[in-house]
Chains A and B, each alone.
Chain A
């Protein structure tokens, strides 16, 4: 993946991602000083058909820390956002530890 955007979903309105993982990821991103966008809840953006979702997900390569790829893809579909599999890498914070998430977000080489 070439130069990519970093997007972090905080899943604010549910407790499905461990708090420690979320905090450690945010902390690491804050420490590096890298540019990134943090959204409170991607599900809410999809439900509201927030145009910002399209800007984040379909304008060039993006690495997104959230939950399962199948869920995120479905959310994008539900709000009419084009899904380009080559450009979007979803890092699942429900299954990956903080170190793995940060590594995947910051590593500019393609991971999968």
Chain B
């Protein structure tokens, strides 16, 4: 992805503060990295756009990867438009994924077994976040099942999940010590499905729409409150076949690697 250099070094005149600020903001809001620089050398092999009040013989002009936008010749709006066009290369994605604090992690692999969306993996026998893009936006559930409080989501609203220091007070506040097993009995997802099947059965037998619905809602509410799982994630839980497939695949992989 292109990055921008706001150049005000030798061979260029200074910008107005407002000008510098609005170019800077436009880049950042479009998702483009920007440098305020006085260096004639651009330390990058990738595509770079240099913006500035550049003299005719600007030091940047000879480089292949550098495109010049001269404020002597172009309006600021034209340049901002060009930046926004370049930014369209980026796929829209809120960077939301678990980040492991390896000063706390004990490599117990509970997060690996808990997450059904293949976010976690194992590399050199160590837990890793293998597929950050698979993570469900705004779902911090796996951080709540980590016994060591080692999983962070930097964009989460509260500590210690957001990366704030782990202390007794924050543990209490975030109910990090919630015992998932006692909450819903073992595998939380299968418990959820069982509950929902049970409610459906009861619904069919008793023809009691309201009670069945209430039971499901109670269960969902409990989960949502304890783990902060968004509705969209609850709605997209994989079914039993998918989980079985995942389990078999993991076992096959393990056997192929010489595991038990």
User: Which of B24-32, B199-207, B240-248 contacts the other chain?
Assistant: B24-32
Contacts across chains A and B counted by CB atoms under 8 Å: 121
What is the distance, in angstroms, from A72's C-beta to the closest C-beta of chain B?
7
B53 contacts the other chain (CB 8 A): no
- Contact of B33 with A35 in the complex, beta carbons under 8 Å: no
Q: Which residues from chain A contact B165 at a C-beta distance below 8 Å?
A: 68, 70
1/0 contact string of B28-42 vs chain A (CB within 8 Å)? 111111111111000
- Contact of B24 with A30 in the complex, beta carbons under 8 Å: yes
Interface size, B (range): 35 or more
What is the distance, in angstroms, from B80's C-beta to the closest C-beta of chain A?
15
Interface residues of B, dominant DSSP: loop
Which listed residue, A16, A38, A47, touches B97 by the CB 8 Å rule?
Answer: A47
What is the distance, in angstroms, from B170's C-beta to the closest C-beta of chain A?
12
B57 contacts the other chain (CB 8 A): no
Q: Which residues from chain B contact A38 at a C-beta distance below 8 Å?
A: 24, 27-28, 33-36
Q: Which residues from chain A contact B24 at a C-beta distance below 8 Å?
A: 26, 30, 38
Compute how far the CA of A30 lies from the CA of B21 in the bound complex, rounded to whole angstroms: 6
Q: Which residues from chain B contact A34 at a C-beta distance below 8 Å?
A: 36
- Contact of A36 with B32 in the complex, beta carbons under 8 Å: no
Number of interface residues of A (CB under 8 A): 39
B101 contacts the other chain (CB 8 A): yes
A31 contacts the other chain (CB 8 A): yes
Q: Which residues from chain B contact A16 at a C-beta distance below 8 Å?
A: 155, 157, 162
- Contact of A74 with B95 in the complex, beta carbons under 8 Å: no
- Contact of B100 with A40 in the complex, beta carbons under 8 Å: no
- Contact of B162 with A68 in the complex, beta carbons under 8 Å: yes
Which B residue's beta carbon lies closest to that of A47?
B132
Given contacts A33-B14, A35-B39, contact A26 B8 (CB under 8 A): no
What is the distance, in angstroms, from A91's C-beta to the closest C-beta of chain B?
14
- Contact of B155 with A14 in the complex, beta carbons under 8 Å: yes
Which listed residue, B17, B93, B132, B159, touches A30 by the CB 8 Å rule?
Answer: B17
B152 contacts the other chain (CB 8 A): yes
**Which residues 44-77 of A sit at the B interface, judged by CB distance below 8 A?**
44, 46-47, 52, 55, 67-75, 77
1/0 contact string of A68-101 vs chain B (CB within 8 Å)? 1111111101100000000000000010000000
- Contact of B36 with A70 in the complex, beta carbons under 8 Å: no
Compute how far the CA of A86 lies from the CA of B97 in the bound complex, rounded to whole angstroms: 27
Compute how far the CA of A94 lies from the CA of B165 in the bound complex, rounded to whole angstroms: 13
- Contact of B97 with A70 in the complex, beta carbons under 8 Å: no
Given contacts A16-B157, A35-B37, contact A68 B29 (CB under 8 A): no
Q: Which residues from chain B contact A13 at a C-beta distance below 8 Å?
A: 31, 93-95, 155
B164 contacts the other chain (CB 8 A): yes
Which listed residue, A27, A29, A43, touches B36 by the CB 8 Å rule?
Answer: A29
Additional 17 contacts, C-beta under 8 A, given A38-B28, A44-B95, A74-B163: A12-B31, A26-B24, A29-B36, A30-B36, A35-B35, A37-B36, A38-B35, A43-B97, A44-B93, A47-B95, A47-B132, A67-B162, A68-B162, A70-B163, A74-B152, A78-B100, A78-B128
Closest A-B pairs by Cβ, 10 of them: A71-B163, A68-B163, A43-B95, A71-B154, A74-B99, A44-B95, A10-B28, A14-B155, A30-B21, A70-B163
Q: List 15 A-B contacts (CB under 8 A).
A: A29-B36, A30-B17, A30-B20, A30-B21, A36-B35, A37-B36, A38-B33, A39-B33, A43-B96, A55-B43, A70-B164, A71-B152, A72-B163, A74-B100, A75-B154
